[in-house]
């Protein structure tokens, strides 16, 4: 089933479906883990995937997806494909026995001359079993 030109909210829903299917209430744990990490260098193993491993704390992850909506007929299908690739990149960035758990994603957008740029993001913790 092809999704034609999605709205910004539609892109957020696709992001939620592909990247954050189960949201977790991690804000307090994430904030505690990131405390004292100001200025720390995040690794960026893949575009849109950032990882920080504080000493003595859990691995933290930020995920960002940017897409310029230009009205192409197959845009929804391309977005879903890009999000699946982003999910594969997330999996490749964590240990094989790890699982990334994320908070509810957010979305913003910027009007550009060539179209509407949609930016979806989330953050979370990598849990290792």
Percentage of residues in the chain having pLDDT higher than 90: 64
CATH number of 8-128: 3.30.980
Q: Is 85 helix (H, G, I), strand (E, B) or coil?
A: helix
Mean pLDDT of the chain: 90
Domain boundaries, the chain: 8-128
Inter-CA distances, 36 with 14, 30, 63, 95, 109, Å: 34, 12, 21, 24, 30
Residue 1: what pLDDT?
A: 40
8 A C-beta contact, residue 61 and residue 126: yes
Q: Is the pLDDT of residue 2 over 50?
A: no
Q: Kindly report the pTM of this predicted structure.
A: 0.89
């Amino acid at each position: 089933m092809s999704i034609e030109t999605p709205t910004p909210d539609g892109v957020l829903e696709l992001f939620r479906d592909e990247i954050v299917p189960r949201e977790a209430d991690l804000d307090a744990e994430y904030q505690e883990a990131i405390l004292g990490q100001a200025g720390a260098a995040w690794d960026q193993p893949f575009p849109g995937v950032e990882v920080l491993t504080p000493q003595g704390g859990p691995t933290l992850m930020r995920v960002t997806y940017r897409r310029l909506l230009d009205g192409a007929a197959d845009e929804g299908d391309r977005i879903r494909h890009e999000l699946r690739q982003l999910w594969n990149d997330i999996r490749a960035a964590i240990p094989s026995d790890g699982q990334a758990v994320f908070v509810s994603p957010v979305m913003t957008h910027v009007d550009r001359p060539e179209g509407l740029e949609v930016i979806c993001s989330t953050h979370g913790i990598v849990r290792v079993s």
